[in-house]
Amino acid sequence: MNNKDFTLELAKRLKLSTNDTSDMMAKLVSCMTDQWQSGNVISIQTFGNFEVRKKNERVSFHPSTKQKILIPPKLILTFKPSNYLKGKLK
How far apart are the C-alpha atoms of 25 and 19, rounded to whole Å? Answer: 10
Q: Whole-prediction pTM value?
A: 0.77
Residue 10's closest CA among 28, 35, 34? 28
Given pLDDT bands bounded at 50, 70 and 90, which one contains residue 4?
very high
Q: What proportion of the chain, given as a percentage, has pLDDT over 70?
A: 100
How far apart are the C-alpha atoms of 54 and 76, rounded to whole Å? Answer: 6
How far apart are the C-alpha atoms of 33 and 27, rounded to whole Å? Answer: 10
Tens of pLDDT along 47-80?
999 999 999 999 999 999 989 999 999 999 999 9
Given pLDDT bands bounded at 50, 70 and 90, which one contains residue 90?
confident
Partners of 80 in the β-ladder: 49
Total residue count of the chain as it appears in this document? 90
How far apart are the C-alpha atoms of 68 and 8, rounded to whole Å? Answer: 48
Higher local confidence (pLDDT), 84 or 90 = 84
What mean pLDDT do residues 30-40 have? 94
Q: Which CATH superfamily is domain 3-89 in?
A: IHF-like DNA-binding proteins (4.10.520.10)
Given pLDDT bands bounded at 50, 70 and 90, which one contains residue 28?
very high
29 CB-near residues (< 8 Å, 6+ apart): none
Mean of all residue pLDDT scores within the chain: 94
